[in-house]
Amino acid sequence: MTSIRQPQQADGLYDPRYEHDACGVAVVARLDNRPTNEVVALGIEAVANLEHRGAAGADPDTGDGAGLLIGMPDEFLRAVAGVELPAPGRYGVAMCFMPTDPAEQAQLSELLERTVESEGQRVLGWREVPTDDGRIGPTARA
């Protein structure tokens, strides 16, 4: 699917000075937050191209985590966040793979919080996502 794209203007945390061509893992989103079929089609195309981009996992027993999130799951987040959330559209979520070592985790958490605050935002809380590593393959386990 091809469409004509206009250069984006700086907006919020987005700065077009950091744009460059690369064959990497994709994120597809609209800066105006308007839901469109084009975004879904481009997301599916990106997932279909993961192998070409070198983003498919080499461990056949573990999924690569690829998928589409087509809307902020506000109701779910309110149920599990453990903090009071602002109105929908007034907060964001960062999903990070953190180190397992507690000292490294604390250091990275502090760095992430300082970075968020330097952008004029605030961290509302952290949530450790429940996991079940009983079915992952040897590469992911390592």
Rounded CA gap, 43 and 69, in Å? 9
* Whole-angstrom distance, CA of residue 140 vs CA of residue 59: 7
**Would you put residue 70 in left (φ > 0), alpha (ψ -120 to 50) or beta?**
alpha
Name 58's Cβ contacts closer than 8 Å, sequence gap at least 6.
139
Q: Is 23 a catalytic residue?
A: yes
Identified catalytic residue from 1, 22, 23, 142? 23
Would you please indicate which residues are annotated as catalytic (active-site) residues?
23
